[in-house]
Protein backbone atom coordinates (compact mmCIF):
# COMPACT_ATOMS: atom_id res chain seq x y z
CA UNK A 1 0.00 0.00 0.00
CA UNK A 2 1.02 3.58 -0.65
CA UNK A 3 0.63 6.24 2.04
CA UNK A 4 -0.99 9.30 0.48
CA UNK A 5 -1.07 12.62 2.30
CA UNK A 6 -3.44 15.28 0.98
CA UNK A 7 -1.70 18.13 2.73
CA UNK A 8 -4.28 20.89 2.41
CA UNK A 9 -7.05 18.84 4.03
CA UNK A 10 -4.70 17.00 6.40
CA UNK A 11 -6.04 13.70 5.06
CA UNK A 12 -3.87 10.58 5.23
CA UNK A 13 -5.02 7.46 3.39
CA UNK A 14 -3.51 4.13 2.42
CA UNK A 15 -4.17 3.39 -1.24
CA UNK A 16 -3.43 0.58 -3.63
CA UNK A 17 -1.80 0.51 -7.03
CA UNK A 18 -3.88 1.76 -9.98
CA UNK A 19 -6.22 3.94 -7.92
CA UNK A 20 -6.90 7.26 -9.63
CA UNK A 21 -6.20 10.42 -7.67
CA UNK A 22 -9.64 11.74 -8.62
CA UNK A 23 -11.33 8.69 -7.13
CA UNK A 24 -9.18 8.82 -4.00
CA UNK A 25 -9.97 12.52 -3.52
CA UNK A 26 -13.70 11.91 -3.93
CA UNK A 27 -13.80 8.97 -1.52
CA UNK A 28 -11.63 10.64 1.12
CA UNK A 29 -13.68 13.84 1.17
CA UNK A 30 -10.79 16.03 0.05
CA UNK A 31 -11.65 19.57 -1.01
CA UNK A 32 -9.64 19.22 -4.21
CA UNK A 33 -11.72 20.70 -7.04
CA UNK A 34 -12.50 19.06 -10.37
CA UNK A 35 -14.11 20.42 -13.50
CA UNK A 36 -14.08 18.52 -16.80
CA UNK A 37 -12.44 15.36 -15.37
CA UNK A 38 -10.86 14.62 -18.74
CA UNK A 39 -7.70 16.75 -18.66
CA UNK A 40 -8.96 19.82 -20.51
CA UNK A 41 -9.72 22.54 -17.93
CA UNK A 42 -6.74 22.42 -15.47
CA UNK A 43 -9.05 22.93 -12.47
CA UNK A 44 -7.51 19.91 -10.75
CA UNK A 45 -3.89 20.96 -11.04
CA UNK A 46 -1.92 20.10 -7.91
CA UNK A 47 1.66 20.03 -6.76
CA UNK A 48 3.17 16.65 -5.97
CA UNK A 49 5.36 17.62 -3.03
CA UNK A 50 6.71 14.09 -2.60
CA UNK A 51 6.51 10.85 -4.58
CA UNK A 52 5.89 12.03 -8.15
CA UNK A 53 7.82 8.96 -9.30
CA UNK A 54 5.11 6.76 -7.74
CA UNK A 55 2.42 8.17 -10.05
CA UNK A 56 1.55 7.16 -13.60
CA UNK A 57 3.68 8.83 -16.29
CA UNK A 58 2.62 12.34 -17.27
CA UNK A 59 0.17 12.33 -20.18
CA UNK A 60 0.23 14.45 -23.31
CA UNK A 61 -2.94 16.16 -22.08
CA UNK A 62 -1.17 17.15 -18.86
CA UNK A 63 1.82 18.47 -20.80
CA UNK A 64 -0.44 20.60 -23.02
CA UNK A 65 -2.44 21.87 -20.03
CA UNK A 66 0.63 22.83 -18.03
CA UNK A 67 2.22 24.52 -21.04
CA UNK A 68 -1.00 26.50 -21.55
CA UNK A 69 -0.71 27.64 -17.92
CA UNK A 70 2.85 28.75 -18.63
CA UNK A 71 4.25 26.31 -16.10
CA UNK A 72 7.40 24.25 -16.44
CA UNK A 73 7.17 22.87 -12.89
CA UNK A 74 7.56 19.10 -13.32
CA UNK A 75 5.87 18.50 -9.96
CA UNK A 76 2.54 19.89 -11.16
CA UNK A 77 0.06 17.24 -12.29
CA UNK A 78 -3.60 17.07 -13.22
CA UNK A 79 -5.24 14.97 -10.54
CA UNK A 80 -7.93 13.73 -12.94
CA UNK A 81 -5.26 12.25 -15.19
CA UNK A 82 -2.90 10.43 -12.85
CA UNK A 83 -3.08 7.33 -10.75
CA UNK A 84 -0.97 5.46 -8.24
CA UNK A 85 1.65 3.42 -10.08
CA UNK A 86 3.48 1.73 -7.19
CA UNK A 87 2.87 -0.84 -4.49
CA UNK A 88 4.48 1.09 -1.66
CA UNK A 89 5.92 4.46 -0.79
CA UNK A 90 4.76 7.90 0.25
CA UNK A 91 3.06 10.60 -1.80
CA UNK A 92 2.25 14.11 -0.63
CA UNK A 93 0.01 16.41 -2.65
CA UNK A 94 -0.86 20.09 -2.23
CA UNK A 95 -3.66 21.65 -4.28
CA UNK A 96 -3.61 25.12 -2.74
CA UNK A 97 -0.11 26.19 -3.64
Among 80, 82, 84, 93, the residue binding ligand FES under the rule CB under 6 A is: 80
Residue 68 as a binder of ligand FES (CB under 6 A): the answer is no
Establish if 59 lies at the interface with ligand FES (CB under 6 A). Answer: no
The number of residues that bind ligand FES (CB under 6 A) is 12
C-alpha angle with apex 77: 49 to 7, nearest 5 degrees? 35
Sheet containing 89-94, strands listed edge to edge, beginning at the edge strand earlier in sequence: 11-15, 2-6, 89-94, 45-50, 76-78
Does 78 help bind ligand FES (rule: CB under 6 A)? yes
The answer for residues whose C-beta is within 8 angstroms of residue 18's C-beta and 6 or more apart is 83, 84, 85
Q: In the complex with ligand FES, which residue's Cβ is closer, 33 or 53?
A: 33
Binding ligand FES (rule: CB under 6 A), the pick from 8, 9, 40, 75 is 40
- CA–CA gap between residue 58 and residue 65 (Å, rounded): 11
Residues that bind ligand FES (CB under 6 A): 34-37, 39-44, 78, 80
Amino acid sequence: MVNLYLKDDNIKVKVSNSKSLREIARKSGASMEFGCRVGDCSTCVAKVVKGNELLSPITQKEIFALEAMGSSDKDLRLMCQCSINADEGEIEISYFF
